[in-house]
């Protein structure tokens, strides 16, 4: 059935198409250039990224090294859960963190029922949307993105890119060198819905809290913005 | 879904009687247009972006055979099976076949308007499958046994109270009262979480297909589509053949338009790209993935004068800004697609004979074209459909004769002017005292809601001529 459907559909499409050569089609697409993107809220990348994460109803910690990152995560866990447990994918970058220094007890694998917190290490952060980018793999099982109550995401400052176009440049390069993952996820905030009378509610299906830990040499102004944002203790 | 656009006028009159829903629609229309305007005002390059995406869409449609086959090749390379369906029947059977091959009983479904178009749910259900909609709005209307009233917010017509009563009927709540909206959301989350974990097949839609790498793009705020895509063992991605874009960056450029136009957000929460089954070493994700791509007249629309309608990105802005849609709501259209987009698309997907009333659900105000991020000249397409309706003699004879008479008069200005001047003078005399009429022949559509104001004594042409004469005498 599908075979004849396919050939019938394609023959109608060929009739409607301009019948250009591949070369001409590629050339025409190239000539159309790239899309305009919105101006960032401020020119400095870290600051703009943090502002957008906060706009997305996320919270942010700025840390300058891995030991501080572990401490910040420990603090977050204790504040919300009074313990130090979380689940993380088998990401060598996460395995190499000095967890014991702050008493954090990560379980490496995919989130299971009853586990409320997962940690991911983002491949990229997109300044334009305040989104983090992860892809599905052993290092970041999909369940860890979409099933926890709280999703914590580490982002290296060096992995921030200004626009989605630049994000794709980096992703395309990765796809060529390390192969295509099954899923690429841009995540910009906790899961939300406005399906009941337009009222916005967080935690529709996935995380109702989303916390970003920005790692690296972060300008003081940017750090101050993250620090000044109100922290929800729920 | 079952189509009943042929009874649009009755459906609309019925809808107008439900004042509660009409009031909510009024509020939402006002709110939706305000947040859209705010989102667009804060992005200076919005119009340039609109033009850019328009060119990309035109280019993709001009070369759709090339891009669709490139997409197919890349998707197969990523480990997917790609299927094509000429019509709804073929489409539904393909999906059912895949489910049956895996002895699936439970299906978790993300929002997909294409599957509304084909009536997939009832087809799968009649084969004994348990299909659960997981988008909150879709879940609510599925529980209520209704159809979507809006392409973006399917449960727009329901109040929180109605939803509370529905959950009280359908769920085992014990003593829980679900007073707040967040309680209602949490309740649905718990029920659906179970279903996600048990479903054998996930079905999702796609906002775009990407030719260069064989991925689909899915944009949501809830993340339910992502659970459908990642938890069950089999994933089926359902969309139509016209959704292909050349590059990944083209899809994200389109998403910039989409979120701002649909919900007034600068972007949605989850923008996800999927292609293929679990990779080596991965511990979750589907083991088998399928794309099922529907034509259903789109290849014909492509070579017709209505081609531009295929550039629609399904943002719903034209619905939110349409005076007809916001008065009568989505159900009146009797089709999966409502509002201006539905009034153009439905006759093209079905037939003008079945749906010719829809292109008449238009005041020619032009707001839809103004807000459409895809720059589709919706009022022109609606007018062309009405023109075809006239040629095919589908409209009521009194309408056609009325229009003929009007067109004859318009081509004979002196008779037109004499006639209008006489009737205006009579109306002026009769209505001078009261200032208006509560009833007049042929105008019940107007006077049932409001008075018809009594006209001034002279017509525009009379005033204009007098003015010109004065000027010449000076
Ligand atoms: S026709 Fe335009 S405004 Fe209407 S849904 Fe499609 S893209 Fe949006």
Do A20 and A112 fall into the same domain?
Answer: no
Given the DSSP bridges, would you call strands B106-109 and A117-121 parallel, antiparallel or unpaired?
unpaired
Q: Dump the DSSP string for B107-128.
A: EEE---HHHHHHTHHHHHHHTT
CA A126 to chain centre: 8
The low-confidence residues of chain B, meaning pLDDT below 50, are: none
Which residues form the domain of A210?
A: 45-228
Q: pLDDT tens for residues B97-115?
A: 999 999 999 999 999 999 9
CB nearest to B184's CB, from A1, A136, A196: A196
Do A12 and A116 fall into the same domain?
Answer: no
What integer pLDDT is reported at residue B443 of this predicted model? 82
**Residue linked to tokens 């996460």:** A94
Do A18 and A56 fall into the same domain?
Answer: no
Do A118 and A180 fall into the same domain?
Answer: yes
Do A108 and A29 fall into the same domain?
Answer: no
Q: How many helices (H) and strands (E) does chain B have?
A: 23, 12
Q: How far is Cα A188 from Cα A108, in angstroms, rounded to an integer?
A: 24
Query: Quick check: A2 pLDDT over 80?
Result: no
Do A13 and A66 fall into the same domain?
Answer: no
ipTM (interface predicted TM)? 0.96
Do A21 and A54 fall into the same domain?
Answer: no
pTM of the entire predicted model: 0.93
Average pLDDT rounded to a whole number, residues A156-174: 97
A233 part of a folded domain = no
Do A97 and A161 fall into the same domain?
Answer: yes
Do A18 and A62 fall into the same domain?
Answer: no
A212 part of a folded domain = yes
Q: How many domains does chain A have?
A: 2
**On the CB side of B24, how many CA atoms lie within 13 Å of its CA?**
19
What integer pLDDT is reported at residue B177 of this predicted model? 84
* Segments making up each domain of chain B, as ranges: 43-300, 316-398, 413-473
Name the CATH code of domain B43-300 (choices 3.40.50.10420, 3.40.640.10, 3.40.50.300, 3.40.190.170). 3.40.50.10420
Do A9 and A70 fall into the same domain?
Answer: no
Burial of B441 (0-12, 13-18, 19+ CB in 10 A): exposed
Q: pLDDT tens for residues B54-105?
A: 999 999 999 999 999 999 999 999 999 999 999 999 999 999 999 999 999 9
Q: B322-359 burial, b if ≥16 CB within 10 A, otherwise e?
A: bebbbbbbbbbbbbbbbbbbbbbbbbbbbebebbbbbb
Chain A residues with beta carbon closer than 8 angstroms to that of B283: 109-110, 138, 141
What integer pLDDT is reported at residue A234 of this predicted model? 52
Query: Quick check: A1 pLDDT over 70?
Result: no
Rg for chain B (alpha carbons), in Å? Answer: 26
Do A24 and A130 fall into the same domain?
Answer: no
**On the CB side of B277, how many CA atoms lie within 13 Å of its CA?**
15
The residue whose CA is least distant from atom 8 of ligand 1 is B315
CB nearest to A183's CB, from B134, B266, B273: B273
Chain A residues with beta carbon closer than 8 angstroms to that of B241: 9, 13
What integer pLDDT is reported at residue B294 of this predicted model? 98
Q: Are B248 and A35 in contact (CB under 8 A)?
A: no
Q: Which two tokens stand for residue B297?
A: 């007249």
CATH number, domain of A80, equals 3.40.50.10420
**Pairs of residues, one from chain A and one from chain B, whose beta carbons lie less than 8 Å apart:** 260
Instruction: Give all strands (DSSP E) within B10-142, no chain letters.
Output: 81-85, 106-109, 130-133
Q: What is the mean pLDDT of chain A?
A: 94
What integer pLDDT is reported at residue B204 of this predicted model? 98
Residues 6+ apart with CB under 8 A from B186: A203
What integer pLDDT is reported at residue B446 of this predicted model? 80
């Amino acid at each position: 059935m599908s075979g004849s459907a396919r050939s019938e559909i394609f023959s109608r499409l060929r009739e409607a198409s301009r019948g250009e050569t591949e070369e001409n089609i590629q050339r025409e697409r190239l000539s159309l250039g790239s899309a305009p993107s919105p101006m960032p809220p401020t020119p400095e990348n870290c600051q703009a990224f943090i502002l957008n994460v906060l706009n997305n109803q996320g919270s942010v910690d700025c840390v300058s090294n891995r030991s501080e990152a572990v401490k910040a995560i420990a603090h977050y866990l204790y504040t919300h859960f009074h313990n130090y447990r979380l689940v993380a994918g088998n990401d060598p970058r996460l395995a190499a963190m000095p967890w014991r220094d702050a008493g954090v007890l990560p379980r490496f694998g995919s989130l299971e029922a009853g586990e409320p917190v997962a940690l991911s290490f983002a491949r990229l952060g997109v300044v334009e949307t305040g989104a983090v980018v992860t892809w599905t793999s052993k290092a970041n099982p999909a369940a860890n993105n979409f099933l926890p109550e709280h999703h914590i995401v580490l982002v290296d400052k060096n992995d921030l890119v200004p626009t989605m176009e630049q994000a794709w440049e980096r992703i395309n390069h990765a796809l060529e060198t390390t192969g295509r993952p099954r899923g690429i996820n841009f995540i910009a905030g906790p899961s939300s819905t406005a399906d009941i009378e337009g009222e916005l509610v967080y935690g529709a299906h996935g995380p109702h809290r989303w916390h970003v830990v920005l790692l690296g040499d972060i300008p003081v102004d940017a750090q101050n913005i993250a620090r000044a944002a109100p922290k929800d203790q729920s | 879904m079952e189509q009943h656009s042929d009874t649009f006028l009755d459906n609309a009159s019925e809808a107008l009687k439900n004042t509660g829903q009409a009031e909510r629609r009024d509020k939402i229309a006002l709110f939706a247009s305000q947040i859209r305007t705010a989102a667009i005002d804060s992005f200076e390059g919005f119009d340039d972006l609109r033009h850019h995406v328009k060119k990309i869409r035109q280019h993709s449609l001009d070369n759709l055979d090339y891009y669709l086959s490139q997409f197919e090749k890349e998707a197969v390379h990523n480990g997917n099976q790609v299927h094509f369906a000429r019509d709804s029947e073929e489409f539904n059977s393909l999906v059912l076949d895949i489910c049956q091959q895996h002895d699936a009983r439970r299906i978790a479904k993300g929002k997909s308007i294409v599957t509304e178009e084909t009536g997939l749910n009832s087809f799968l259900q009649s084969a004994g499958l348990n299909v659960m909609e997981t988008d909150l709005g879709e879940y609510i209307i599925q529980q209520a046994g209704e159809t979507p009233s809006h392409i973006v917010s399917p449960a727009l017509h329901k109040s929180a109270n109605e939803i509370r009563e529905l959950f009280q009927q359908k769920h085992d709540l014990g003593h829980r009262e679900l007073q707040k909206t967040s309680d209602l959301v949490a309740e649905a989350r718990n029920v659906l979480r179970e279903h996600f974990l048990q479903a054998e097949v996930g079905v999702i839609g796609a906002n775009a297909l990407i030719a260069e790498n064989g991925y689909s793009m899915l944009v949501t705020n809830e993340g339910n589509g992502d659970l459908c895509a990642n938890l069950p063992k089999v994933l089926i991605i359902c969309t139509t053949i016209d959704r292909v874009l050349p590059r990944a960056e083209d899809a994200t450029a389109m998403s910039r338009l989409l979120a701002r136009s649909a919900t007034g957000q600068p972007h949605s929460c989850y923008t996800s790209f999927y292609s293929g089954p679990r990779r080596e070493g991965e511990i979750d994700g589907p083991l088998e993935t399928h794309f099922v791509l529907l034509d259903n007249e789109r290849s014909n629309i492509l070579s017709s004068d209505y081609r531009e309608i295929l550039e629609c990105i399904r943002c719903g802005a034209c619905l939110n800004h349409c005076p007809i849609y916001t008065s009568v709501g989505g159900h009146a259209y009797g089709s999966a697609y409502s509002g201006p987009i539905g009034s153009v698309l439905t006759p093209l997907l079905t037939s003008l004979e079945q749906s010719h009333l829809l292109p008449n659900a238009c005041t020619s105000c032009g707001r839809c074209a103004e807000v459409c991020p895809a720059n589709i000249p919706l009022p022109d397409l609606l007018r062309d459909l009405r023109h075809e309706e006239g040629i095919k003699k589908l409209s009521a004879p009194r309408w056609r004769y009325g229009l003929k008479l009007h067109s004859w008069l318009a081509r004979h200005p002196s008779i037109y002017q004499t006639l209008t001047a006489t009737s205006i003078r009579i109306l002026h005399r009769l209505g001078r005292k009261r200032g208006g009429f509560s009833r007049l022949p042929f105008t019940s559509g107007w006077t049932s809601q409001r008075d018809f104001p009594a006209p001034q004594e002279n017509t525009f042409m009379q005033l204009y001529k007098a003015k010109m004469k004065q000027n010449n005498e000076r």
